[in-house]
């Protein structure tokens, strides 16, 4: 099976990049399945039903997420539907949604997708992601042959925690890919049959600070004061991803290759409920207490 795993989709520019590039990539790479992390797709903060539908329409089969999954109000209801959208498994079981899913590719072959979130230097206090993985995959001491390809999106801050997870799951899953930092790493490799890359990167504005307007990011870090996070919505965009190929018998990885594409997109037009309004090249969102936490917006770009 040939699987494309795409880094965090950031805002409208990221969604437009998927729409423009993914159909051709699916054909060119002869892909069977596509996974994308969508936790920043709604104006840079969270995922909404509308932005999830944009991602699916572009050709993505499963959407994974991370710590920003809860930022939009309507996601709580959306996660109770049959839509193949995951939130990290190691959040509380009292929250809606799921972190593990088995679906079928376009040839009707099964594939499992697992979504976990790290705990090192992350603001949330979640269950141990290693133990959460064991609840799905079984004990590390009793490795079983894979019945199907299984890929893991590990949404975590530190390279060490991501690397440790790859070694912990080595031989038990087809792939472990890191997300969250929005910075693509140049270390794709195979560990005991498990494809691994520390971070996929992001799908969104190239000329930015992990998706944000550089000047506002500089001001926030220079002055150490609360401010605004301005998400870049035009200019050169990039799509960061990896292509993973699995063995049809063992379902372990036989190759992992970086796929990075660039495209220049014009200034977006944003839509509110009543009329279309052209805006500048950044979208403004208030942050709280010097962090980049958003106020939920019902219809963000």
- Which residues are identified as catalytic? 68
Helix/strand/coil (H, E, C) string of 190-225? EECCEEEECCCCEEEECCCECCECHHHHHHHHHHCC
Taking each helix axis as running N to C, give the angle between helix 49-58 and helix 11-28, from 0 to 180 degrees, rounded to the nearest 10.
20
**From residue 83, how far is each of 44, 80, 103 by CA, in Å?**
21, 8, 11
Of residues 136, 128, 139, 138, the one with CA closest to residue 152: 136
Mention every residue, 6+ apart, whose C-beta is less than 8 A from residue 278. Answer: 267, 269, 270
With contact defined as beta carbons under 8 Å apart, do 237 and 204 qualify? Answer: yes
Q: What are 247-253's contacts with CB under 8 Å, separation 24+?
A: 248/1, 250/145, 250/146, 250/193, 251/1, 251/146, 251/147, 251/148, 251/149, 251/150, 251/174, 252/146, 252/171, 252/174, 252/193, 252/194, 253/174, 253/175, 253/190, 253/193, 253/194, 253/195
């Amino acid at each position: 099976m040939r699987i494309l795993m795409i880094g965090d989709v950031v805002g409208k520019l990221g969604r437009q990049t998927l729409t423009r590039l993914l159909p051709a990539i699916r054909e060119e790479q002869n892909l069977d399945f596509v996974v994308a992390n969508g936790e920043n797709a709604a104006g840079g903060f969270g995922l909404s039903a509308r932005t999830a539908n944009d991602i699916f329409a572009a050709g993505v089969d499963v959407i994974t997420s991370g710590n920003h999954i809860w930022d939009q109000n309507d996601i709580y209801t959306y996660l109770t539907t049959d839509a193949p959208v995951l939130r990290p498994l190691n959040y509380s079981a009292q929250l809606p949604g799921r972190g593990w899913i088995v679906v079928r590719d376009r040839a009707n072959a099964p594939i499992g997708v697992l979504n976990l979130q790290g705990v090192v230097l992350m603001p949330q206090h979640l269950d141990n992601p290693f133990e959460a993985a064991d609840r799905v995959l079984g004990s590390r001491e009793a490795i079983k042959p894979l019945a199907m390809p299984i890929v893991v999106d590990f949404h975590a801050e530190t390279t060490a925690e991501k690397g440790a997870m790859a070694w912990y799951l080595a031989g038990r899953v087809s792939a472990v890919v890191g997300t969250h930092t929005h910075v693509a790493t140049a270390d794709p490799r195979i560990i005991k049959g498990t494809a691994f890359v520390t971070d996929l990167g992001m799908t969104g504005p190239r000329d930015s600070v992990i998706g944000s307007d550089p000047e506002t990011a500089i001001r926030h870090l220079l002055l150490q004061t609360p401010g605004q996070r301005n998400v870049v919505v035009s200019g050169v965009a990039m799509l960061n991803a990896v292509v993973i190929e699995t063995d049809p018998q063992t379902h372990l990885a036989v190759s992992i290759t970086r796929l990075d594409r660039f495209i220049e997109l014009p200034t977006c037009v944003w839509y509110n409920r009543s009329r279309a309004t052209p805006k500048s090249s950044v979208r403004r969102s208030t942050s709280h207490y010097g962090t980049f936490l958003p106020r939920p917006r019902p219809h963000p770009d």
